[in-house]
Amino acid sequence: MASVASLLPARTAAQPRAIAAWLLGVAALVFAMVVVGGITRLTESGLSITRWDVVSGTLPPLSEAEWQAQFALYRQSSQYQMMNQGMSLAAFKGIFFWEFVHRLLGRLIGLAFALPLAWFWIAGRIPQGYKLRLLALFALGGLQGAIGWWMVASGLVDRTEVAPERLAIHLSNALIIMAGCIWTALDLRDGDTPRHDRPNMWVWPLAALLAVQIVWGAFTAGLRAGHASDTWPLMFGQLVPDGLFARAADLVSDPISVQFVHRSLAYAVAAAILLTAWRLWRAGAGVRALALGGLVLVQFALGVAVIVGHVPIPLGVAHQGVAAMLVAAMTWAAHWSQRSSA
């Protein structure tokens, strides 16, 4: 009879490149999750599943009776009673699909991280100094699941949508996980020796500016503030609409004020990223500079198109997806500036 030890993988030398490839794969899955999350939000699908069943929720309803049971639960929600009275079962299946895919993808990401991590750990293939970092990323993934349900729960009573601040936290944590996977993969692949001969003072200020813009983008989505004004560059015929920020809370609760902040910050973000891309280009980071500059121009154009087009779902999803790509490109460029030896 085989011993337990014989069933475990043989210990071997650390394999940083294999682990880097795995982490980049996880980052790609997180990117897909962000895109599907955008679809879920724009189609008002996020509240269609009113319970969090970790095991049984892995399968969709497989019979008419199961569909009717899920639909009955949804009809008890505030979103149905306040916004979707009279919705047909067929329409419910449409919104159920996207929330189900979103949750299923979350489970897949959890498995795609946990199982290879366990294998690499037991096999002794994780380089020295990386175990705690990988555990931290795993913990952030578990936290993301809890944040997701916390977000959904906020919209089940007396609301027709989730709380915007919880949506912002959910999106921000997803992008932190993605960026953490990319940065760690680059450290494993290229080395983690600090560099002092490349422009790097830009990293934290630009990261903070982009983070603020992404948070306000989440508030814009959560409050449906993209519908507040459908003109550009003016809002209601003015550069600064009357009555902005009448209360301090308007900064995060008034759709007109929130859209104004988000679109105004877009100018600062675009200018800062283009300036950074120019500096990186001159320092020899050509592909990284082109990625940063090109993506921010695409993102700016998408933002304008979303506003003037009355927030069409394809453009809204593209806007969220390119935001995630911009985070990835900035992580790649920042790593070259601060850490990479390649």
How do residues 303-339 score in pLDDT, each as one tens digit? 999 999 999 999 999 999 999 999 999 999 999 998 7
Provide the pLDDT for residue 11.
54
| Global model pTM greater than 0.85 | yes
Beta-carbon count within 10 A of 49 CB: 21
Amino acid at 50: T
Measure the CA–CA gap between 50 and 133, rounded to whole angstroms: 34
Tokens coding 279 = 């500096």
Find the Cα–Cα–Cα–Cα dihedral 141, 146, 147, 150, rounded to 10°: 170
CA atoms within 13 A on the CB side of 213: 26
Measure the CA–CA gap between 191 and 21, rounded to whole angstroms: 14
Measure the CA–CA gap between 258 and 223, rounded to whole angstroms: 8
Sign of CA pseudo-dihedral 229, 234, 239, 242: negative
What pairs with residue 235 in β-bridges?
A: 238
**Residue corresponding to tokens 């920020």:** 245
Tokens coding 138 = 């795993």
Provide the pLDDT for residue 7.
54
Q: What phi and psi values does residue 238 have, to the nearest 5 degrees?
A: -130, 150
Q: For residue 251, what are the contacts with CB-CB under 8 A and spacing of at least 6?
A: 245, 257, 258, 261
Alpha-helix residue ranges (DSSP H) falling in 59-88:
64-75, 78-83
Measure the CA–CA gap between 230 and 236, rounded to whole angstroms: 9
Tokens coding 70 = 């899920």
DSSP type of residue 235: B
Burial (CB count within 10 angstroms: exposed 0-12, middle 13-18, buried 19+), residue 203: middle
Tokens coding 67 = 């569909």
DSSP helix/strand/coil, 198: coil
Alpha-helix residue ranges (DSSP H) falling in 191-254:
203-222, 250-253
DSSP helix/strand/coil, 90: helix
Provide the pLDDT for residue 158.
87
What pairs with residue 238 in β-bridges?
A: 235
Provide the pLDDT for residue 342.
46
Q: What's the start-to-end Cα distance of the chain, in Å?
A: 49
Q: Where are the domains of the chain?
A: 14-192, 194-342
Tens digit of pLDDT at every position of the chain (342 positions): 455 445 555 556 779 999 999 999 999 999 999 999 999 999 999 999 998 887 777 899 999 999 999 999 999 999 999 999 999 999 999 999 999 999 999 999 999 999 999 999 999 999 999 999 999 999 999 999 999 999 999 998 888 899 999 999 999 999 999 999 999 999 998 876 667 678 888 999 999 999 999 999 999 999 999 999 999 999 999 999 988 888 878 888 999 999 999 999 999 999 999 999 999 999 989 999 999 999 999 999 999 999 999 999 999 999 999 999 999 999 999 999 987 554
Q: Which of 286, 299, 290 is nearest to 325 (CA)?
A: 299
Contact call for residues 126 and 134 (beta carbons, < 8 A): yes
- Write out pLDDT tens, residues 155-169: 988 888 999 999 999
Beta-carbon count within 10 A of 70 CB: 21
